[in-house]
Amino acid sequence: MALNLNELNNATHLRGPAGFITPVDGMSHVVGQHSTPLLEKTIPQVFAETVSAYGTRDAAVFVEQDKRFSWDELAETVDAFAAGLLALGLEKGDRVGIWSPNRWEWLVTQFATARVGIILVNINPAYRMAELDYALNKVGCKALVTAASFKSSDYLGMLAKLAPELAESEPGKLKSARLPRLEIVIRVGEDNTQGMFNFGDVLAMAGRDEYERLDAISDSLDNNDPINIQFTSGTTGSPKGATLTHRNIVNNGNFVTSTIKLTAEDRLCVPVPFYHCFGMSMGSMGCVTKGAAMVFPSEGFDAGATLTALAQERCTGLYGVPTMFVAMLDNPDFSRFDLSSLRTGIMAGSPCPIEVMKKVISLMHMGQVTIAYGMTETSPVSFQSGVDDPLEKRVSTVGRIQPHVECKVVDTDGKTVAVGQSGELCTRGYSVMKGYWQDEEKTAEAIDAEGWMHTGDLATFDAEGYCNIVGRVKDMVIRGGENIYPREIEEFLYRNGRIKEVQVFGVPDEKYGEVIAAWIVRVPGQTLTEEEVKAFCEGQIAHYKVPRYVRFKDSLPMTVTGKPQKFLMREAMMQELGLAEQKTA
């Protein structure tokens, strides 16, 4: 029988620390504790409270830019930029895009837009021209804050091609054929570009009138107002704009940092990108809820820069995706860095190999590291391990349900499955997005009539409520009627000391429908053959799980946030083998 959330909310006898986090009646359905109330506040309200409490203490350190802010200094800069946006004619509800790596201007823009109810649109720093065109037009951005360039991306060059009218425009008066809604471009850095405002110009632009309007606008905001749009990196079709509210972001940032016991005494290192929930919801927003200092090592992830920042700034916490931790552990100078100040952190973004987790705990002093699971559409975290959870649970699960969230695992008919059985994970509660921006059809596909967000992830719950993500619904391989979860085979292969990274996926097969393929990155200096990989599997895992095809690569295709792009591997493998998709009748 389905649990009634209203009844559970009133069931005070269940409100211990383990509230409703263990499955009831052996079914895979859990509800987070409600004893800790939700913060019914807007982002500027929470920010102002933290500034008032911790004014002169460190708020943010940008190591590569050699820029430091106290909370008072950050608030002053945020207000200057917010007032500048008002002076440019921007209003509550307008969309402002940001296309930049991790710079101090990103952080200021995040809290300045929230200050006046402007919806911040996160644009992936890896996007190229067609993707930028799509993103800006999809949500109707009136303004864009952009870096000049990052790595191989020439942002100004791409903008000049998309909107050649900039070369003849006054700043703030762009009229572009391809970007009809975009009027204002603000570039970061010291230089000036024709047709654009400099970030510093906007900081100095406002007069008394704009400053006097700030508090009134902030006071008028509702915490259910949309305040952020993040594009999901879908593997098929165009990216969708997940629309998040103050309530989504404030509470998720608060709960994930409470789980790692973050306080104003902590210094959290955030090498993950701002444009992603990990950087801005769990990172900057999470730190604001606690008054903890944020440390940003570099514009993009660099293992050496991150290790340097950890040691120099005496960081107590660290965020990252597994590939980042692997890169730091593999750094040739790793042993020279004093990481003894580290205590906690979060590893998320993709499944963490067990061996990596053990090294992070033993070699990086992160005895209280936690694993978190979520998705952009749920702000993002639904499950997280606790700092005191047994090591076995922390290395083999993504923890237990977060407060004020409800989750279940369902079969293909939508029925809740028994504990231990796998199915699609569904989530509902405060954390579920408002929807995909102006896309009712896609929103209805993702969020059903009862408010359940269908994640597309395959999961199992154990009797204690710990969740294990066993793959993606679409990644599951069906070989001759056997359901195979790539994650299980990957975990097994990681036990081979010569394998640094591995991804397992299915490719079409005439006889079995699908068979297993594995792409492997060897540990530097090690040799390993296809025959040796297969021999390692023989007799250890079921014969149908042994990879038919093994290929060795220098690197594996990943998203910016470290998520493996299995669809690209599958496509490349099919092309190499001359295979076509198996069609069903």
Give CA–CA dist 544/541, Å, rounded.
Answer: 8
Give CA–CA dist 291/267, Å, rounded.
Answer: 10
Domain boundary among 197, 232, 267: 232
Whether 406 and 28 have beta carbons less than 8 Å apart is answered as no
Residue 88 lies in a domain: yes
What is the extent of the structural domain holding 523? 477-577
What is the crossing angle of helices 104-115 and 71-87, to 10°?
A: 60
323: three-class secondary structure by DSSP: helix
Say how many domains are in the chain. 2
Identify the CA nearest to 122 among candidates 156, 141, 99, 92.
99
Domain boundary among 212, 232, 252: 232
pLDDT of residue 333: 98
Q: Where are the alpha helices (DSSP H) in 340-446?
A: 354-363, 391-396, 440-446
pLDDT of residue 322: 86
Question: Taking 60 as the threshold, does the pLDDT of residue 267 lie above it?
Answer: yes
Whether 436 and 239 have beta carbons less than 8 Å apart is answered as no
Give the strand pairing for 143-146 and 95-99.
Answer: parallel
> CA-CA-CA-CA torsion for 67, 264, 433, 350, nearest 10 degrees?
80
CATH number, domain of 153, equals: 3.40.50.980
Q: Which residue has the tokens 């005191």?
A: 388
Provide DSSP, 100-131.
-SS-HHHHHHHHHHHHTTPEEEE--TT--HHH
Model confidence at 560, pLDDT cuts 50, 70, 90, reads low
pLDDT of residue 14: 31
Strand pairing partners for 231? 241
Percent of the chain with pLDDT over 90: 81
DSSP 285: I
Whether 220 and 249 have beta carbons less than 8 Å apart is answered as no
- Taking only the tens place, the pLDDT of each residue in 356-403 is 888 999 999 999 999 999 999 999 999 999 999 988 888 889 999 999
Residue 335 lies in a domain: no
- Output 201-209 pairs: Cβ under 8 A, ≥24 positions apart: 201/84, 201/171, 202/81, 202/84, 202/85, 202/87, 202/88, 203/77, 203/80, 203/81, 203/84, 204/80, 204/84, 205/83, 205/84, 205/87, 205/88, 206/80, 206/83, 206/84, 206/86, 206/87, 207/87
pLDDT of residue 488: 86
Domain boundary among 232, 250, 271: 232
Backbone angles phi, psi at 520, to 5 degrees: -130, 140
Q: In what order do the strands lie in the sheet with 240-245?
A: 197-198, 184-187, 143-146, 95-99, 119-122, 226-232, 240-245, 435-436
Percent of the chain with pLDDT over 70: 94
Q: Select the highest-mean-pLDDT range: 284-293, 340-349, 491-500.
A: 284-293
Residue 28 lies in a domain: no
Q: What is the mean pLDDT of residues 96-115?
A: 99
pLDDT of residue 561: 65
Question: Taking 60 as the threshold, does the pLDDT of residue 533 lie above it?
Answer: yes
Question: Taking 90 as the threshold, does the pLDDT of residue 269 lie above it?
Answer: yes
Whether 514 and 582 have beta carbons less than 8 Å apart is answered as yes
Identify the CA nearest to 224 among candidates 201, 244, 204, 252.
244
Give CA–CA dist 438/429, Å, rounded.
Answer: 21
Question: Taking 70 as the threshold, does the pLDDT of residue 296 lie above it?
Answer: yes
33: three-class secondary structure by DSSP: coil
Residue 387 lies in a domain: no
Q: Give the tokens for residue 168.
A: 């003849």
Residue 146 lies in a domain: yes
CATH number, domain of 548, equals: 3.30.300.30
- Taking only the tens place, the pLDDT of each residue in 216-249 is 999 999 999 999 999 986 544 678 999 999 999 9
Residue 307 lies in a domain: no
| 152: exposed, middle or buried (Cβ count in 10 Å: 0-12, 13-18, 19+) | exposed
Give CA–CA dist 146/133, Å, rounded.
Answer: 14
Give CA–CA dist 89/519, Å, rounded.
Answer: 52
Q: In what order do the strands lie in the sheet with 467-472?
A: 29-31, 405-410, 423-429, 453-461, 467-472
Q: Give the tokens for residue 413.
A: 């008919």
Model confidence at 485, pLDDT cuts 50, 70, 90, reads confident
Residue 156 lies in a domain: yes
pLDDT of residue 18: 45
Identify the CA nearest to 315 among candidates 334, 341, 297, 289.
341
Q: Please state the length of the chain.
A: 585
Residue 197 lies in a domain: yes
Strands of 349-433 (E only): list them: 368-374, 381-384, 400-401, 405-410, 423-429
